Amino acid sequence: MDALLEGLDPEQRAAVEAPRGPVCVLAGAGTGKTRTITHRIAYLAQRGHVAPGQVLAVTFTKRAAGEMRTRLRALEVHGAQAVTFHAAASRQLRYFWPRVIGGSRWELLDHKIRIVGRAAQRLGLPTEAEALRDLASEIEWAKASLITPEDYPAAAAKAQRDIPAPAEQIVRVYQGYEALKAEAQLLDFDDLLLHTAAALEDNAEVAEEFRDRYRCFVVDEYQDVTPLQQRVLDAWLGNRDDLTVVGDANQTIYSFAGASPRPLLDFPRRFPEAVVVRLERDYRSTPQVVSLANEVIKWARGRPAGSRLRLIGQRPDGPTPLFTEFDDEPAEADAVARRIRKLLDDGVAASEIAILYRVNAQSEAYEQALAEQGIPYLVRGGERFFERAEIRQAMISLRSAGEVPGSLPEVVRSVLARVGLTDDPPAGGSARERWESLLALVELAEELVSAVPDADLPRFCAELDVRAEAQHPPTVEGVTLASLHAAKGLEWDAVFLVGLVDGTLPIQYADGDDAAIEEERRLLYVGVTRARVHVWLSWALARAAGGRKYRRRSRFLYGLVPEDHPAARVARREPLQQKKAKPTCRVCAATLLEAQAVKLGRCTSCPSDVDEELLVRLREWRAGRARELKVPAYVVFTDATLVA
Ligand code: ATP
Ligand code: MG
């Protein structure tokens, strides 16, 4: 048989051999979707059905595009384009620009926040870094969802967005941002896509030339397409249908940014003549890992029809997934590093091991622990902790803060407030990542104080320098540290899923939003399915060494931890234990579950400046010892019964 078809199962082969036209592969993780599309491109090229140069294969991240190129090279396909949507659009736009728009060429905008800031400033709106980042993410969501400024309020309400400012303000900033960009001939990433689609939609000659050049389209990870990317894809296709898409609705992890699995699931309806293939055999992972993945996704709520795919493991048996609970995060990181040392000693290559976490700020503890063990590592999709811009800026501020009395963590917190550490966490996205990184510094200060009670700011700065020094120089071969988002599509022999506590996975701001919680669950599914053989899941009950154990393991682990596991027994006792130890808000007395709130001693949404006298009156009233509660008009409590 043809060498290209040999390593494929019958369903994969059906997709590879399908005649040119619409093909859709709906399948779970590790079933060979990426393998199928790369083999299809190679097969069509080898049989002379299409010239490699006429193939345009797109996906969403540079890493995933690189993975496709590597696989195509291995199949000796040369000349097919495998790139991100943005790279494809940018290349096309440069070529067509003189004809469709003319005049001087655009520049790519690389300082979006600054332009959003100028737009906000002109309107007299707040320009703190956090506020601007939230506004920029909201504008990005709107553009990726093809929502104009005018349509924004209705669309945001319909999508039930948790918006960072009144809708009218966002509209005005969005309009201002667009105007400033146009004045300066700047395009952002979404503009590249918008202009590309418009160039083909509005200009028949350009469309004809393009469609003559590219004849066969392939999309990997199609479950994460945004309406804007879909519009570009439709413009590329025109009225043709030579399109192969592959995806897994259970791996949609960018819906917060406008992505949706709908086009994938609706593909067979849109193209009734499409060859539709469902793959179930999982070639990546051992049956033990596959069964854990099936369990994780089994509990997902609101799964659309077409996403209920079960995985059937094909590999030989392997070790059972390991669940481990730790007292604190440093202990967790240390244990992970020791296990990795053992794997390395057993002959597993460092490049076959990954530590995956929810937010990049979690990497610091693991960078440190690996450095202590002398294990090389690389941080994927994010800079090393001490190289991040906000951390470098924070360290400069801390060094120049001079002598400040009163506790170290409070001093650190107040200095960091100047570089963006707000009391309340920003809603999400990169702003949240930066906030988490800054908060990690405060936690390091707490850790230092618990070890050295009289540590001051200079001592803390020295400690940070030592830690930064201890981190390894960049390496290309090493243990991978990556966020779950950055790990999509990749695979390793051993995967450590760390920090599985409520508030981190699911992330705290997803609470109360069912759709957001489900996206968090899919992230765990993506994480588990990255492992070929070993998967370790761990969590720690306290952040800092010796800290209060107020954290709970991730709600997604209930039902997954084996009944005879010590952590399962702890879980069964949890309600009772919690009753005794539940921390409550000093302002509204609500139970505090979120780490940041516990640290503050109040809900993050409760006011920080309520005076003690008022609190005493409040407690009296709550306890039924006062009939009336008089509070100043500005005090708003989070407890619904207490809104003043
Ligand atoms: P994801 O959803 O995570 O992107 P995927 O469906 O794209 O996964 P691939 O990465 O293509 O899956 O394949 C997973 C692993 O299984 C790869 O190592 C691939 O080489 C291997 N594989 C796929 N199909 C087969 C097969 N028929 N025989 C042997 N190995 C296979
Ligand atoms: Mg894939």
pLDDT at residue 82 is higher than 60 = yes
CA 36 – ligand 2 centroid, Å: 9
CA 12 – ligand 2 centroid, Å: 13
Atom in ligand 1 nearest the alpha carbon of residue 282: 16
pLDDT digits (tens, 9 = 90+) for 352-371: 999 999 998 898 899 989 98
8 lines ligand 1 (CB under 6 A): yes
CA 297 – ligand 2 centroid, Å: 18
CA 609 – ligand 2 centroid, Å: 51
pLDDT digits (tens, 9 = 90+) for 306-365: 667 778 999 999 999 999 999 999 999 999 999 999 999 999 999 899 999 999 889 889
Which one-letter amino acid corresponds to residue 86? H
List Cα–Cα distances, 319 to 285, 316, 332, in angstroms.
11, 10, 20
pLDDT-above-90 percentage for the chain: 48
| This prediction's pTM | 0.77
CA distance 460 to 466: 10
611: its two tokens: 């005076």
DSSP per-residue codes, 595-613: HHHHHHTS-TTS-S---HH
In the chain, what are the domain boundaries? 3-90+193-271, 107-184, 322-571, 595-642
Architecture of domain 3-90+193-271 in CATH? 3-Layer(aba) Sandwich (3.40)
CA distance 114 to 356: 32
Q: In a mutational test of the pocket of ligand 1, which residue from 284, 311, 312, 492 has the highest number of ligand atoms less than 8 Å from its CB?
A: 284
If you average pLDDT over residues 59-76, what whole number do you get? 85
Instruction: Judge whether 28 is annotated as a binding position.
Output: yes
pLDDT digits (tens, 9 = 90+) for 366-404: 998 998 888 988 887 656 677 777 888 888 888 888 666
458 lines ligand 1 (CB under 6 A): no
Residues 6+ apart with CB under 8 A from 127: 117, 120, 121
373 compared with 33, residue with greater pLDDT: 33
3-90+193-271 shares its CATH topology with 322-571: yes
Q: In a mutational test of the pocket of ligand 1, which residue from 11, 34, 41 has the highest number of ligand atoms less than 8 Å from its CB?
A: 34
DSSP per-residue codes, 1-58: --HHHHTS-HHHHHHHHSPSS-EEEEE-TTSSHHHHHHHHHHHHHHTTSS-GGGEEEE
Atom in ligand 1 nearest the alpha carbon of residue 530: 3
Bridge partner list, 244: 23, 218
Output the average pLDDT for the chain: 85
Identify the residue whose tokens are 């609706």.
266
What is the reported pLDDT for 52? 94
Is the ipTM above a cut-off of 0.90?
yes
223 lines ligand 1 (CB under 6 A): no
Nearest to 116 by CA among 195, 183, 180: 180
pLDDT digits (tens, 9 = 90+) for 231-287: 999 999 999 999 999 999 999 999 888 999 999 999 999 999 999 999 999 999 999
Residue nearest to atom 8 of ligand 1 (CA): 30
| Domain 322-571: which CATH number of 3.90.550.10, 3.40.50.300, 3.90.1150.10, 3.40.50.620 | 3.40.50.300
Residue 580's pLDDT band, with cuts at 50, 70 and 90, is very low
Are 246 and 219 contacting, i.e. CB atoms less than 8 angstroms apart? yes
If you average pLDDT over residues 16-38, what whole number do you get? 96
